[in-house]
Each structure stands twice: as C-alpha cells, then as structure tokens.
Amino acid sequence: MLKKHDEVVVKIVEVGKEALCKGITEEGLEVFTRYAIVGEKVKVKIFKTDPLYGDVIEVIEPSPFRITPECKYFGECGGCDLQMLPYEKQLEFKKSLLVKEFSTIPDFDISVIEDVIPSPRQFYYRNSVMFRVNPKKKKIGFLKRDTNIVIDIDECKIASEGINYALRKVKNQENFPQHVFKVRTTLDGDVVVNLIETDEFQDRPVIETITLDGTTYRFRISRESFFQVNSFAIPIWLKQIRRLIENSEYDRSLCLDLYCGSGIISFFVRDLFEKVIGIEVSKTSVEDGIYNISTNNIDNVEIILGDVGNTLPQVKIPDIIIIDPSRVGIEEKVINIINQNLTKEGKPKKIIYSSCNYETQVRDIKLFHKAGFKVSKVIPIDMFPQTHHIEVIALLET
C-alpha cells in the first residue's frame, strides 16, 4: 500500500474536470495528479492517501503533444493547468469536457456543441488578478494548488502587462503590503491597485472601453463589481449572444437580463429590443450600471437592484431572457418561476444562458428541460487560455 512521500510510476489514462489526471500503477492502483497528458508515463510523489494523490516529479515518457510551458512557475503556482499543451489541443480538451457533461442531459444532441472559439490572446489577457501575500517572508504571488503556501512570482504570464507592471512596483516599494490585494487594468492602460482589507492603496473604479461592430461604450467598474476578466474576448462573447437574438423571430418589445452586473450585455443588445430590464443583487454593480446608463446616454435600459428570485415575479416575463449568473449557477427558485410561467403563459420561448461553470450550467439546464426547454446550440468561448476554465453560451428553446 502506498504511503505519503512514496514515489510511483503511473500511466495517465484520463484527464477530466478541472484538468485532474488519473494514472494507473503497474499494480492497477489509481493515482490522481495534475499537469500531465493522456498516454504519458510519469513518476509522482504521493502527498495524500485515500484516494491517492501525487505531484509529478518526472515525465518518463512524454506525450508527442507536450510543449515547454511559457511560465517558469507552471506546476508550482496554482493559476494555470494546461500550459504543457499546444493551444489548439487545449481547445480540443475543453470541448471534450463539454461533450461529456452535456451528454448527461436527456435527449441531448452533441452535434449542437460548436468548436471552441479561441481567445485573441493566449497570454497576458487577464484584466484583473488577486495577489496573495506572505508579509513575513516578503512573498507576493498565488497559492500553490490545494495549499495556503504563497508562491512568490515576479511575472504572471496570463495577467496583462499593466498588472505585471503594478506587481513589480508593489514588490519594490518600502510599504510592503500586509494583505491580499487586487489589480485591475483596462485596454486603455489604466491600472488600479486595491487592497481588500484596507485602503492602503488606491480605491477607485476603472473605466473600460468595449467596442463591437463600431459601437463603443465606456463602463465604470468599481472594486466590488464583476467584469469579465478577458477584455480581448468580450466582443466575441457579446457578438455570439447577439447572433442568437438576431436569428430570432420572437417578440422584441422586452428582454430580461438576469444577474446583469453593471449592464454590459444589456447595453450591447439594447438596439435589438424596445426595452431591456436587468436585475442584479449587487448594490455596487447596480450603481455602476446606473452611472454607465447616464454617461453613455442610454434610454432603453433599466437596471433593478434586487435578488433575482424575489424581483422576477414583479416583472413581465418576455419571449427572450438572458441569464449570466455567477459560478454557483441559477437558484432553483428562479428556474421554477421561469418554468411555471412557461406552463401558464407560454413564455419565455428562448433562454440565452452564459456561464463560466459548465457543471452548474448543465445542472440548471436539466431542470429547465423538465419544463420543455431543449438545448439547440452550445457556443464555447475560451475566455481563460492556459486554464481548464471556459465560458459557455447555451441556447434553450421550447
């Protein structure tokens, strides 16, 4: 029986959710690890038993697809998990995960899953990063996966150039941070450093400019407001959402945008409807959204502050609803309200559901399926290169 710190050779037979690798020893024992590729033979050092987990310490028989990671911290820092794969193979891997997960939906046709749309940038794309700090050892970086150990870094290959500039400035100043801090940047080059527990650094919003097909809006993003982390891929994401609406012959008098944040989707689909109503529980995001409506001279978007489950019964449910929740997905209460309205009123006829967590997305779609919704299209967009994460837009129709 293998114990902690034992070393063992395994053959990688599967790489699944969260890029977790399953290896098999010569004796048939299952050992889980990371940063490996199917078919490889690797040596791992056991750090956990029941079940067995180990760190790869040597690649004995590398895959023909293996490449040298761009980042010197890869495998130690917990930020990325796919840098050993060429980018096209990363996209294939992510689609394979979607095929497996969406296939658990009753009567699902896997042909509706499109190929993953690549990010315009594979590195230096993140506009927001949370840095961890070990003030005693003067370390700033990210946590080693599944630990509280801060891996000290001098550059992050997936963070924007502005974030890396801010990291160097913070590390070299006399007033070394004592707490976790966030750095935001914009495409225009603005950089803001926010400490989470204190106001030790700047505490102001940034203004991000997003352009799609000649239409440009400026968005205020406060410290606590959510915004997609890959500004370079946001126009692609918005264009796909618009595509699903433009191909529709449903009533365009009203659209609901649930979990709307500061209103980015609402703004870029508003020309397709007479009115768009967004619902958002975050006060800061709603304040940003109202500010954005004013500064961009928007006249047909309204953002309501409130819990979606409590607010939804107070508004008219239209033919088309857009839903973009957090990673935890949609509350069952919200799904029940929508399903009940479909039964009574025949609406909505179309749900556009975008999510950065396909597992909770599929869980929710199964509940919609019970009411008669069917998945007619799945559009994956790689908002998060070098990681196992992916943004998925699912079109549900009656």
| pLDDT of amino acid 233 | 97
> Is 356 one of the catalytic residues?
yes
In a domain, 278, yes or no: yes
| pLDDT of amino acid 202 | 52
Question: Same structural domain for residues 387 and 256?
Answer: yes
Got the DSSP string for 117-134? Answer: BPPS-SSS-BSEEEEEEE
Question: Same structural domain for residues 282 and 380?
Answer: yes
| pLDDT of amino acid 360 | 99
In a domain, 315, yes or no: yes
| pLDDT of amino acid 20 | 97
* Residue environment code for 23-49, b if the CB has 16+ CB neighbours within 10 A, otherwise e: beeeeeeebbbbbbbeebbbbbebeee
Question: Same structural domain for residues 267 and 191?
Answer: no
Q: Per residue in 101-118, pLDDT tens? A: 999 999 999 999 999 999
| pLDDT of amino acid 196 | 56
CATH number of the domain enclosing 12: 2.40.50.140
In a domain, 68, yes or no: no
In a domain, 95, yes or no: yes
- pTM more than 0.75: yes
Question: Same structural domain for residues 115 and 149?
Answer: no
Please check whether residue 284 is in contact with residue 220, taking contact to mean a CB–CB distance below 8 angstroms. Answer: no
| pLDDT of amino acid 209 | 86
Question: Same structural domain for residues 109 and 144?
Answer: no
Task: Give the residue from 265, 268, 291 showing the smallest Cα distance to 278.
Answer: 265
C-alpha span between 204 and 233 (Å, rounded):
24
Range of the domain at 182: 128-204
List of the chain residues with pLDDT < 70: 195-204
| pLDDT of amino acid 203 | 58
Set 21, 156, 260, 356: catalytic member = 356
Question: Same structural domain for residues 52 and 160?
Answer: no
Task: Give the residue from 240, 232, 281 showing the smallest Cα distance to 259.
Answer: 281
C-alpha span between 380 and 191 (Å, rounded):
29
| pLDDT of amino acid 355 | 98
Number of domains making up the chain: 3
| pLDDT of amino acid 188 | 85
Question: Same structural domain for residues 132 and 115?
Answer: no
Question: Same structural domain for residues 156 and 174?
Answer: yes
Please check whether residue 280 is in contact with residue 290, taking contact to mean a CB–CB distance below 8 angstroms. Answer: no
CATH number of the domain enclosing 303: 3.40.50.150
C-alpha span between 185 and 162 (Å, rounded):
6
C-alpha span between 137 and 242 (Å, rounded):
49
